Amino acid sequence: MIKTGFFSIIFALLLTACHLFVETGEPIAQVGKHVLTMEELAKNIPDYLDETDSSLWADDYIKRWIQSELLLLKAEENLKADMKDVSKELDEYRNSLIVYRYKNELVKQKMDTAVNEADILKYFNENRENFILNRNIVKAIYIKVPVAVSSPENLKDLCISDDPEQLAKLNEYCISYAKIYDRFNDQWVAADMVLKNTPVEITNQQHFLERNRFVESSDMNYYYLVCIRDYRFSGKVSPLDYVYNDIRNLILSKQKMQFLKQIEKDVYKEGVDNKKVKIFKTKNNRL
């Protein structure tokens, strides 16, 4: 039986000693013919751990290593020879991994990753039924600011403005004074994420959004303001900017597939043209 903390104690002693054991590959544990050395253990210990944590980590690592090796040993002892022959699988894995890496390098080096804006708009218009919202979304601003420095009417005017200078003033003010400042006025987010910050109990979210531009409250310390700048409802077609990146990635994925198919065709043609391929005639093959 392996006693809890046994290897931790050994490892702690090794840590406080010199590095001789690490350099000479002093054995720590053995299962069958496989040996775990201090050198191998040390290589796997994260640098950021202190001595105590390193000892605990080493103890766990040794136990996991022993468990893994015992399972392997048991499998080696009980499986038939043909079931332990994995050379074919290893060759197939190696081949597929090499081809995969080669294709990835070609994509990085030669594939054009630009996506035309017109193509994104075209795809959106032709597939609008695939972009139906499954939740209400909003563009909004949420502010929590100390009552002492709050200016509700001024803040509301700044929040609903489309003037870049006014929004810059709002940004400057909130960075200086706000306890919380979440600005989603230029991107769509789930309405739930914004409205959860309101003290109002909302039973009908769509009805609420249609009738409220601002939601405000205050307590002894803070003034709270949610400004709804825009909204779209569940069941409606998504705004383009909400799904823009999704569409771009879809188009890019198709371009990648086409690029790789063309690579395969080119490699095939090159191999045949350069006589790297031989096709032999057989009784069943009259090529």
Axis crossing angle, helix 240-273 with helix 87-110, rounded to the nearest 10 = 110
Beta strands in the chain (DSSP E): 27-31, 34-37, 137-146, 180-190, 214-218, 222-232
Q: Give start-end residues of each CATH 3.10.50 domain in the chain.
A: 133-232
Residues in the chain: 287
pTM of the entire predicted model: 0.66
- For residue 18, the one-letter residue type is C
Domain 133-232 has CATH 3.10.50: yes
User: What is the full DSSP assignment across 194-215?
Assistant: HHTTSSS--S-HHHHHHH-SEE
Burial class (CB in 10 A: 0-12, 13-18, 19+), 257: exposed
Across the strands, what pairs with 222?
A: 146
pLDDT tens string for the chain (287 positions)? Answer: 455 455 554 555 455 443 434 455 788 899 988 999 988 888 888 888 787 788 888 889 999 999 999 999 999 899 898 888 889 999 999 999 999 999 999 999 999 889 999 999 999 999 999 999 999 999 999 999 999 998 899 999 999 898 999 999 999 999 999 999 988 878 899 998 888 877 778 889 999 999 989 988 888 899 999 999 999 999 999 999 999 999 999 999 999 999 999 999 999 999 989 988 888 877 666 55
Axis crossing angle, helix 51-78 with helix 6-16, rounded to the nearest 10 = 130
